[in-house]
């Protein structure tokens, strides 16, 4: 089994120096830069739009993994693609026509991810499994960094891993992951991990990414 990918969420970064923060986690060994886009409607918080993503694009060559917590999402996908997203993830709860959103992402030449809230059943994925590049399981209710991991999601991660079979879909988990629980998440079947507070709290990004990796293996 190859090593787990770590995607620091810049929701927990210092927004006053966002470009430098992106550069710092890149140099500390991040595989992806996870960017949480919130609209104050789908989730009770508001974050970045395309101009902010465009402004930080030149600070790293690592893939931008853009997590859209917006409803509707489909008509904004192009703006995020043009701003520099490499992976665009939409929530199954956000748009009625999930398959169309996936098509729009692929037509723009980007990788398509699909995310599930903690209360959402994984069977909604069955009819898009052959069309997507990434599944993002939310292990907290989306909206904020620093929340506690919801243990019931471990069973769901496991069932999704089985459902994926031999397809080359990444299984990413987001929310409340730290060195104390990352091994369980990986054991359940995740091969990519989002971490906000676990990476940015403390200020030593090399050490925090290393302790996640060490604990994962
Ligand atoms: C929550 C976001 C997460 C969040 C994770 O809505 O999708 O990406 O930033 O933060 P931590 O790792 O602190 O739970
Ligand atoms: Zn996220």
Q: What is the pLDDT of residue 158?
A: 98
Domain that holds residue 57: 5-216
Ligand 2 centroid distance, CA of 67 (Å): 5
Within its chain, how far is the Cα of 55 from the centroid? 20
pTM here is 0.98
Annotation marks residue 36 as catalytic: yes
211: domain CATH number is 3.20.20.70
State yes or no: pLDDT of 84 exceeds 90. Answer: yes
- 12-20, long-range: CB < 8 A, 24+ apart: 12/145, 12/146, 12/196, 12/197, 12/199, 12/200, 12/201, 13/200, 14/200, 18/52, 18/55, 18/56, 19/55, 19/56, 19/58, 19/59, 20/59
User: In whole angstroms, what is the distance from residue 157 CA to residue 82 CA?
Assistant: 31
State yes or no: pLDDT of 60 exceeds 70. Answer: yes
Q: Is the beta carbon of 7 within 6 A of some atom in ligand 1?
A: no
pLDDT confidence bin for 2, thresholds 50/70/90: low
Other C-beta atoms lying within 10 Å of the C-beta of residue 75: 11
Give me the number of domains the chain comprises: 1
Q: Which ligand is nearest to the CA of 196?
A: 1
Percentage of residues in the chain having pLDDT higher than 90 = 98
Q: What is the pLDDT of residue 205?
A: 98
Q: Is the beta carbon of 145 within 6 A of some atom in ligand 1?
A: yes
Ligand 1 centroid distance, CA of 174 (Å): 6
Helix or strand (DSSP H, E) at 68: strand 64-69
Q: What is the mean pLDDT of residues 44-59?
A: 98
Annotation marks residue 174 as catalytic: yes
Q: What is the pLDDT of residue 1?
A: 45
SS3 74: helix
Ligand 1 centroid distance, CA of 173 (Å): 10
């Amino acid at each position: 089994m190859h090593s787990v990918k770590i995607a620091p969420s810049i929701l927990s970064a210092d927004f006053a120096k966002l470009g430098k923060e992106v550069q710092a986690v890149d140099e500390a060994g991040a595989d992806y830069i996870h960017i949480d886009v919130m609209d104050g409607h789908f989730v009770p918080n508001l974050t970045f739009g395309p101009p902010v993503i465009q402004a930080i694009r030149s600070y790293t060559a690592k893939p931008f993994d853009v997590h859209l917590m917006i409803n509707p999402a489909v008509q904004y996908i192009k703006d995020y693609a043009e701003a520099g997203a490499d992976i665009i993830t939409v929530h199954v709860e956000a748009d009625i026509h999930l398959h169309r959103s996936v098509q729009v992402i692929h037509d723009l030449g980007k990788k398509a991810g699909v995310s599930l809230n903690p209360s959402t059943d994984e069977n909604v994925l069955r009819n898009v499994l052959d069309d997507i590049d990434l599944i993002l399981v939310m292990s907290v209710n989306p909206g904020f960094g620093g929340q506690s991991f919801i243990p019931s999601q471990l069973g769901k991660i496991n069932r999704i891993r089985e459902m994926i079979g031999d397809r080359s879909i990444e299984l990413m988990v987001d929310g409340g992951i730290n060195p104390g629980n990352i091994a369980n998440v990986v054991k359940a079947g995740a091969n990519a991990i989002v971490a906000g507070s676990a990476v940015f709290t403390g200020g030593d990004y090399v050490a925090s990414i290393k302790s996640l990796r060490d604990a994962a293996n």
